[in-house]
Amino acid sequence: MKPFNKAITIATAVMISGAVSSSIVAANPARNAIIKNFATEAGTPLSTERGKALFESKTGGGKPETKSCTACHSASPLKTGQTRAGKLIEPMAVSKSPQRFTDLKKVSKWFRRNCKTVLGRECTPQEKGDFLTFMSSK
């Protein structure tokens, strides 16, 4: 192997391993397990599009002040939101907030609270799984 070719081979290998390791960082095992569990409970493949629709849905059914997720989380998962009390909320998108959805207790608590507040009911495993799939894609 010529020195030039060798250099290219090494550079390519470095690039590939870099890409692989960064995708491993993005796909957190704890988050994957949480999503997989919702998928199993739902019994159907999860959908990014349905997750997006749920996030943007303004049909409400819960409290009048919070007709949609976007009322507090802002219209874009990439942007900072704000609670009704004025406190800022870190973006929902995993690309912006890598620690999101990695703690099952936290995930369960916030789905329980916010589905009641926004929709007036609990969310189904499919809705939860779709939502997390959407946020992980962002």
Partner 1 sequence: MLHIQKLSFLILAVLLIATSVANADERYKPIKDKIVLEECGACHMAFQPGMLPKRSWEKIMNGLPDHFGEDASLEVATKDHIAAYLKDRAADNGLWGGKFMRGIKKNMTPLRITETPHWLREHKGEVRSSAWTSPKVKSKANCLACHKQANRGFYDDD
Residues engaged in binding partner 1 (CB under 8 A): 63-66, 82-87, 109, 112-114, 116-117
In the block, residue with structure tokens 């390519």: 12
Instruction: Name the E strands within the chain.
Output: 81-82, 88-89
In the block, residue with structure tokens 């870099």: 18
CA distance 25 to 42: 26
* C-beta of 2 vs 87, nearer to partner 1: 87
Residues 6+ apart with CB under 8 A from 117: 62, 63, 66
* C-beta of 39 vs 115, nearer to partner 1: 115
CA distance 10 to 123: 49
CA distance 49 to 110: 21
* C-beta of 36 vs 113, nearer to partner 1: 113
Retrieve residue 128's tokens.
Answer: 């939860």
* C-beta of 25 vs 88, nearer to partner 1: 88
* C-beta of 45 vs 120, nearer to partner 1: 120
